[in-house]
Amino acid sequence: MSHLSWPMLTPPRPLEVWRSWNWELREPADLTRYRRQLRLEALPADRDDADEAAVERLLLAFEELTSNGVRHGLPPVWTTVTATSTGWLIDVTDADPRDEPVPAIDRDPAHGGLGLHLIARLCAAHGWAPEDGRKHVWGFVSLTSED
């Protein structure tokens, strides 16, 4: 994938919001705690248009985007997950609006750096944008598989 695989786009503003979560990441244990909470709360019992596979895509995308924010961004790092009628918007922000996300190119997978490529495959849409003095790196995970 080329550098252009991570486009500069502002996060979409969902019209129909079912629920949202907003967390500040202060220590590595926060990621595990918030992922567990998201797993328990992301899919309501009365939702028949999504399945466990959709939730697994959400959790993987959440973990990749959030851990990238913690590793590469400037504190404070915030993650907001917004549940909509068609999926989940994950928006990770940090205090460095100038440092754009760059997918790894020609790197040995054993050295990491493939998270942005994974997000691009898991998400129906993705991007990044500087906004209000913060960098937003986001992905939209659809309730249904894109296969």
At 83-123, the pLDDT tens digits run: 998 899 999 999 999 988 888 777 666 556 678 888 999 99
**81, part of any domain:** yes
**128, part of any domain:** yes
Is 141 in contact with 88 (CB distance < 8 Å)? yes
| Radius of gyration in angstroms for the set of CA atoms belonging to the chain, rounded to a whole number | 15
Cα torsion at 109, 111, 117, 119 (round to 10°)?
120
Give the pLDDT confidence score for residue 112 in this predicted structure. Answer: 61
**Farthest CA pair distance, the chain:** 44
Please state, rounded to an integer, the average pLDDT across all residues of the chain: 86
**35, part of any domain:** yes
**147, part of any domain:** no
**86, part of any domain:** yes
Residues across the chain: 147
**17, part of any domain:** yes
Query: Coil, strand, or helix at residue 128?
Result: strand
d(CA 119, CA 56): 13
Residues of the chain with pLDDT under 50: 1-4, 147
Give the pLDDT confidence score for residue 48 in this predicted structure. Answer: 61
Q: Which range of residues forms the domain containing residue 126?
A: 3-142
For the purposes of burial, counting CB atoms within 10 Å of the CB of 108, is it exposed (0-12), middle (13-18) or buried (19 or more)?
Answer: exposed
d(CA 103, CA 52): 28
Give the pLDDT confidence score for residue 146 in this predicted structure. Answer: 55
d(CA 117, CA 47): 29
CATH number for the domain spanning 10: value is: 3.30.565.10
**27, part of any domain:** yes
**37, part of any domain:** yes
Count of domains observed in the chain: 1
